[in-house]
Each structure stands twice: as structure tokens, then as C-alpha cells.
Structure 1
Amino acid sequence: MADALNLVFDLDGTLIDSAPQIHAAVNSVFAAKGLSGFSQETVRGFIGNGVEVLFDRLLAFKGLTHDADLQAELVGNFVRLYEEAFDLTALYPGVSTAVSDLAAAGHHLAICTNKPEGPTHAVLRHFGLEKFFTVVVGGDTLPRRKPDPAPLLSAISALGPRQTIFIGDSEVDAETARAADVPLALFTRGYRRTAPEDLSAKLIFDDHAALPRLIAHLAPRL
């Protein structure tokens, strides 16, 4: 189709609300080391730059910033636990239908997330979405993570040369899109703290059910 696009999606806060699951897993691994947990609001505020940065921030919050062995153990335990835990993770309303409709319309779909590849593939399989995403770039796929543009550019390269929209929810995603010179579609119900109008998005939406129509309207103008 003439207006087929590359549509590269962030995952957490964009397609799935995983903050409750991340919060539970964080508190579980901290408790196993005899350390107190965190409120969900605190954990949610630290999501977005990958697992290592999440634990950097959590340990700094407790004043434990110089214990590399503890951090490595917590991160390893978290990833093993989180990769198999889905009971507190949910798709945002309308995601399954929107993704299916966008693929059926001929668009080429990819994931670009700071979540490690293992948990990313696991959660996509769990929700029946993996078949729609021919390319997955996780937080451990390359040496660099978002907001460095390399992961997004890698996803685009794998999809092939055509107009691209990056669909995300956060300041990290906005910075990544700017660095890669790719227009951003901003989902407003994720983990963003900045006002939507301050993130230079080409498209702002709060309902995935509307996304196929919005993309169809935007595509000829890119």
C-alpha cells in the first residue's frame, strides 16, 4: 500500500500497564534481601530507562549507591521473577484490536523498549501479540538503550526503508524520537510526567481504539 508505514512501539506504558507487576517484583527481591520495599508511586516514577537504571534509582533512594554486588544480585533476581509474572500486567484497552488492524492495513510493526528481550518476548507471547511484531529491540539487544537513538534506528533498519512513526508514552520516548529524527505519537495514559504539549509529538492520543484511524489520517502528510 502506498501509505504503509513503519510503526515502532514502546512497550511499558504504551501497550501494557506493567507498573503494578514491576512494583511487586521489586518489592519481592528487596524483601528477599531483608530490605524494605517501595510505594508503587515511587517505583512508577523510576520506570523508563531500563532495569539497571531502575535499580540504580531504587538503591539511591535508599542510600545504597555503592554496592555493585547487591545491585547485580537484585537485577538478576528481578529479571528471573519478572520474566514469568503476568498476573498484575494488563494491556491498555483497545491494544489487541488496534495492533491487529494496523498490521492488516499493511503497516510494518516493531517493538523498541528498554525492557530486556527475554521479558519482552514473554509478555508479547502471553498477550498473543508476538505475531504482529516482526522486529523486537530490547534494552539488552544493543550496548546502548533509549534515549540513545541507536535502538530505534536499529528497529527501523530491520523493518526496511519507509516513513516511520515511533509510538511511546514518556519523556524517554520523546527524547529518543528527537534524537532519531522520527515523529512521535504520544500515548497519554502511560508513565509520562511532562505535559503532553511539551514533548513535541506529531500525534497525541489517549485511546488505542482511535489509533488506526489517526495513523491513516496522518500517513499521507508525513
Structure 2
Amino acid sequence: MARIVFDLDGTLIDSAPDIRLAANGALEGTGAAPLSLAETRGFVGAGAAIFVTRMMAARGLPDGMHGDLLHRFVARYEGAVHLTEIYPGAAEVLAELKGQGHRMGLCTNKPIAPTRAVLAHLDLARFFEVVIGGDSLSVRKPDPAPLRAALDALGEGVPIYVGDSEVDAETALRADVAFMLYTQGYRSTPVDELAHHAAFADWSEVPGLVTDLTG
């Protein structure tokens, strides 16, 4: 059996439309142009504070606005769930893996409150024994500590991490954990330039890849 930890945004769910809505709400009144969906996807992955930093840099906003914009963004973030969609086949595969006896967790840089909100909204929380958010520990990915904490909570079994981004690839590498790369997420780096043990574009491929990685 395996211990499988998943990233969230860009891996299990396409949350960029909701994140964009929260970000553009935070930008209202600043005179800055709204973010595009492509920009939003490019800014996701390193946590809310870095997202706001990237957003501000793209709009030429002064550093002194960061605290206020972060507060406004996070205030909108927790309720931003209604435009988010599960990637096709992901929920079915989670159910299949759970039925096979694999233990599963979640490790994301998304703050824990919006993480739990979107998991509840999409009925995904039932699949995970442990959920680690970007503010659950004092550090976040690519520091390996959050991933290791999630894996430790899952007990014994072959450790596997599933993610979509440069941050996820680096996290798995630093934690010395097999990495499965979802190629349809939010990464900007070519697949062959990211360290990974397996890559997939269709969630139906995942059970077979897990079997391969567990020997």
C-alpha cells in the first residue's frame, strides 16, 4: 500500500477562476487593471502572501500596499469556491485509491481556511486523513516539512506526492519522495525540465502509476 499526498490547486481542482475573483476584488479601488485568468494561474503555488506580491509586481503597486491587499484578498478567499471545478476524473480516482486501501493526505500552500472551505464545497474532504495548509506550519512548500508532516500522519506505506508545479517538484525532491506530475495544471516549466518519477495528463492513469511506483 502507499501513502499518497496530493497538492490541491492545479492538481485536484482548477481554482484559478475563484482566486482571480478574490484577487480582483482586492484590487478594486487601487486603479490597477484586473488580473487575467492566465496571470492568476501563473501567480498560484507559493501561498497567499507570494501571490499578492506577484500580483502587485505585475501591476506596479508599491510595496507598502502589501499588508492591506493581502488582508483584502484573504478575506475574500475563504468564500471563493463557486467557480472552482474538480479536474475530470480526479474524484473518481480518489475513491478508487481509497477503496484499494491506500492512505491519502493533502499538502497545499493554500491557507487552511479556504482549503477546508473548498474541500467541503466539493465533497473532497472525505478522502483525506490529514490536511496541511500553507499556514498550518511555520514553513510552507518547497520546504519539505509540510509534506513530511502529512506523510508521517499517514503511517506506513510507500510515500508518493502528486502535484502540478515547480514548487511541488522541488518539495518532493527535497523530501526524497517519489513525485507524480499532473501536466494539465499551473506549471510554466516544460515537463522534461522538472524532476519527476511519473507524469500524467489524464487522471485515469493514476491508479496504474501508483501500482508501478509501489512495485
Paired residues of 1:56 and 1:65 also in contact (CA < 8 A):
no
Which one of 113, 116, 121 corresponds to residue 126 of structure 1? 121
Q: CA deviation at 1:32?
A: 4.4
C-alpha separation in 2, matches of 1:188 and 1:163: 22
State the partner residue of 1:77: 72
Structure 2 letter corresponding to 1:181: D
Query: Unpaired runs of 5+ in structure 2?
Result: none
Question: 4+ residue stretches of structure 1 with deviation over 6 A?
Answer: none
TM-score where L is the length of structure 2: 0.95
The equivalences for 1:1-222 within 5 A come to 4-67=1-64, 70-220=65-215
Structure 1 letter corresponding to 2:169: A
C-alpha separation in 2, matches of 1:184 and 1:167: 6
C-alpha separation in 2, matches of 1:175 and 1:213: 24
CA RMSD in angstroms, aligned pairs only: 1.3
- Equivalent position SS for 2:5: strand
C-alpha separation in 2, matches of 1:117 and 1:38: 24
C-alpha separation in 2, matches of 1:82 and 1:5: 32
Percent of aligned positions that are identical: 46
Paired residues of 2:2 and 2:159 also in contact (CA < 8 A):
yes
Q: Which moved more, 1:31-40 or 1:21-30?
A: 31-40
TM-score where L is the length of structure 1: 0.92
Q: Which moved more, 1:72-81 or 1:136-145?
A: 72-81
Query: Unpaired runs of 5+ in structure 1?
Result: none
- Equivalent position SS for 1:110: strand
Aligned length: 215
- Equivalent position SS for 2:63: coil
Structure 1 letter corresponding to 2:19: I
Structure 2 letter corresponding to 1:37: P
Q: Which moved more, 1:32-41 or 1:172-181?
A: 32-41
- Equivalent position SS for 2:173: helix
Paired residues of 2:81 and 2:117 also in contact (CA < 8 A):
no
